[in-house]
Amino acid sequence: MDYSKMSFDFVATQFEPMIKKQITALHLYKNYDEFYQMGLIALWEAHKNFDPEKGAFPAYAQSYVRGKMMTLLQKEKTFVTRHELHDDDVQISKSYTMFDDEREELPDIYFEGLSPRERLWVQEAFVLQKKRKQIAEEHRVSIEVVKGWRKGAIRKLRNKHLLTEKC
């Protein structure tokens, strides 16, 4: 079949199951409509750019659609990763405001099971309101090390249900 000479509406109807299969294969259960729309756009681009001399359209379309979906998935992952740090900080701060403003330390339950460095991070970041850069400079470590302390503390606090999974 020469798909390059067919209307896009016909191609979209023929390849709709392939788009849905790619969504399922990539385990995309969130933002289904967004990924479906991306699949249609990618199919349209593949239909527009396809050169019949270079191979079969179905294989090209599947590869093109999957690639576009994976690119969108990576962009969303990057966005969430970059923005979850701030959200976690806000959630712990909200938990802390439940206690007296004059209090110099969090209740012991916040420190149970944390390593000494993770305890240090919780104490300095939320009780003393220090920034990561300041903590790193004072303890002569890199900011990446401080981020590691933070990540471990957040994970352990979430496991103890002191923080919500989604802030």
Secondary structure of 83-115 in the HEC alphabet? HHHHHHHHHHHHHHCCCCCCCCCCCHHHCCCCC
Q: Which of 38, 39, 63, 61 is nearest to 50 (CA)?
A: 61
Per-residue pLDDT of the chain (167 residues; tens, 9 = 90+): 777 778 889 999 999 999 999 988 888 877 888 889 999 999 999 999 888 888 888 999 999 999 999 998 888 888 777 765 544 454 554 444 444 444 456 666 667 788 888 888 888 887 788 888 999 898 898 989 999 988 888 888 777 766 555 43
Q: What is the pLDDT of residue 97?
A: 46
Q: Dihedral of the CA atoms 158, 159, 161, 165 (nearest 10)?
A: 40
Q: Which residues of 25-43 are buried (b: 16+ CB within 10 A; e: fewer)?
A: eeebeeeeeebbebbbebb
